[in-house]
Amino acid sequence: MMDRRTVLGVMAGAAASSLMVNSGLARQGGNALPVTIAIDEAIGTIKPELYSQFAEHIGGVIYDGIWVGPDSKIPNVRGVRKDIIDHVKRIGKVVVRWPGGCFADAYHWRDGIGPVAKRPKRYGRWQEDIEPNTFGTHEFLDFCKLCEVTPYLAANVGTGTPQEFQNWVEYCNAPDGRTTLAEERAINGSPEPFGVRYWGVGNESWGCGGKFTPEDYCREYRKFTEWVPAFGVPLYLIAAGPNSNDLDWTRRFFQKWVDGARAPISGWAPHYYCGTTGHALKFSTDQWYEMFKKALVMEKLITDQWAVIGEFDRQHKIKFIIDEWGAWHPAGTEINKHHLFEQMGCLRDALVAALSLDIFNRHAEKIDMANVAQLVNNLHSLFLADGDKFVATPTFHVFEMYKAHHGGKSLRIDAEAPAVSFKDGTIPRLAGAASIKGKTLTISLVNTHATEPAEVDLRLKGTKGTCVAHRVLTDTNLAAHNTFERPDAIKPRDEQVTSGDLRRVLPPASVNVITVTLA
Ligand code: AHR
- pLDDT the model gives residue 499: 87
State the total domains in the chain: 2
Closest Cα to atom 3 of ligand 1 = 101
Residues 6 or more apart in contact with residue 57 via CB below 8 angstroms:
99, 100, 101, 103, 107, 124, 125, 126, 131, 135
Could you tell me where the beta strands, DSSP code E, fall in 348-408? 367-373, 383-386, 389-392
Q: Residue 453: helix, strand or coil by DSSP? A: coil
Cα of 483 from ligand 1 centre, angstroms: 25
- Specify if 266 maps to a domain: yes
Of the candidates 350, 374, 409, which is a domain's last residue? 409
| Residue at 200: amino acid letter | G
DSSP state of 214: H
* Residue from 206, 246, 271, 324 to probe ligand 1 pocket by mutation (most atoms less than 8 Å from CB): 324
Q: How many CB atoms lie within 10 A of CB 424?
A: 12
Are residues 245 and 281 located together in one domain of the fold? yes
Cα of 106 from ligand 1 centre, angstroms: 13
Are residues 360 and 501 located together in one domain of the fold? no
Are residues 255 and 327 located together in one domain of the fold? yes
Query: Using an 8 Å Cβ cutoff, are 46 and 435 in contact?
Result: yes
Strands 80-81 and 95-98, how do they pair?
unpaired
Of the candidates 384, 409, 434, which is a domain's last residue? 409
Report the distance separating Cα 272 and Cα 327, nearest Å. Answer: 9
Closest Cα to atom 9 of ligand 1 = 101
Closest Cα to atom 1 of ligand 1 = 373
CATH number of the domain that 145 lies in? 3.20.20.80
Cα of 102 from ligand 1 centre, angstroms: 6
- Specify if 1 maps to a domain: no
Are residues 192 and 299 located together in one domain of the fold? yes
- pLDDT the model gives residue 466: 96
Query: Using an 8 Å Cβ cutoff, are 455 and 488 in contact?
Result: no
Query: Using an 8 Å Cβ cutoff, are 17 and 363 in contact?
Result: yes
Active-site residue flag, 204: yes
Query: Using an 8 Å Cβ cutoff, are 193 and 186 in contact?
Result: no
The H or E element that residue 510 is part of is strand 510-518
- Specify if 466 maps to a domain: yes
* Residue from 204, 244, 272, 321 to probe ligand 1 pocket by mutation (most atoms less than 8 Å from CB): 204
- Specify if 92 maps to a domain: yes
Are residues 461 and 503 located together in one domain of the fold? yes
Active-site residue flag, 324: yes
Report the distance separating Cα 498 and Cα 469, nearest Å. Answer: 9
Cα of 350 from ligand 1 centre, angstroms: 20
Report the distance separating Cα 412 and Cα 369, nearest Å. Answer: 20
Are residues 121 and 209 located together in one domain of the fold? yes
Q: How many CB atoms lie within 10 A of CB 375?
A: 30
| Catalytic position from the list 56, 131, 170, 204 | 204
Report the distance separating Cα 479 and Cα 43, nearest Å. Answer: 34
Q: Can you list the alpha helix ranges (DSSP code H) found in 96-246?
A: 137-147, 162-173, 180-187, 214-225
Q: Can you list the alpha helix ranges (DSSP code H) found in 241-284?
A: 247-259
Are residues 447 and 332 located together in one domain of the fold? no
* Residue from 56, 103, 131 to probe ligand 1 pocket by mutation (most atoms less than 8 Å from CB): 56
Cα of 343 from ligand 1 centre, angstroms: 14
Find the length of the chain: 519
Report the distance separating Cα 365 and Cα 77, nearest Å. Answer: 37
Closest Cα to atom 5 of ligand 1 = 101
Cα of 484 from ligand 1 centre, angstroms: 26
Are residues 189 and 336 located together in one domain of the fold? yes
pLDDT tens for the chain, residues 1 to 519: 333 222 223 322 223 333 433 333 344 446 899 999 999 999 999 999 999 999 999 999 999 999 999 999 999 999 999 999 999 999 999 999 999 999 999 999 999 999 999 999 998 777 778 999 999 999 999 999 999 999 999 999 999 999 999 999 999 999 999 999 999 999 999 999 999 999 999 999 999 999 999 999 999 999 999 999 889 999 999 999 999 999 999 999 999 999 988 999 999 999 999 988 789 999 999 999 999 999 999 999 999 999 999 999 999 999 999 999 999 999 999 999 999 999 999 999 999 999 999 999 999 999 999 999 999 999 999 999 999 999 999 999 999 999 999 999 999 999 999 999 999 999 999 999 999 999 999 999 999 999 999 999 999 998 999 999 999 999 999 999 999 999 999 999 999 998 889 999 999 999 999 999 999
Of all atoms in ligand 1, which is nearest to the CA of residue 324?
1
- Specify if 2 maps to a domain: no
| Dihedral over alpha carbons 248, 273, 513, 457 (to 10 degrees) | -60
Cα of 499 from ligand 1 centre, angstroms: 48
Ligand 1 binding residues, C-beta < 6 A: 56, 100-102, 203-204, 324, 341, 373-374, 379
Q: Domain containing 489: what range?
A: 12-43+410-518
Of the candidates 409, 434, 460, which is a domain's last residue? 409
Closest Cα to atom 8 of ligand 1 = 101
Q: How many CB atoms lie within 10 A of CB 504?
A: 22
Q: What is the pTM of this model?
A: 0.94
CATH number of the domain that 27 lies in? 2.60.40.1180
Are residues 383 and 445 located together in one domain of the fold? no
Report the distance separating Cα 519 and Cα 517, nearest Å. Answer: 7
Are residues 432 and 363 located together in one domain of the fold? no
- Specify if 5 maps to a domain: no
Q: How far is CA 336 from the centre of its chain?
A: 24
| Catalytic position from the list 56, 170, 299, 324 | 324
Are residues 251 and 327 located together in one domain of the fold? yes
| Residue at 62: amino acid letter | I
- Specify if 4 maps to a domain: no
Query: Using an 8 Å Cβ cutoff, are 197 and 150 in contact?
Result: yes
- Specify if 6 maps to a domain: no
Are residues 299 and 343 located together in one domain of the fold? yes
Closest Cα to atom 7 of ligand 1 = 101
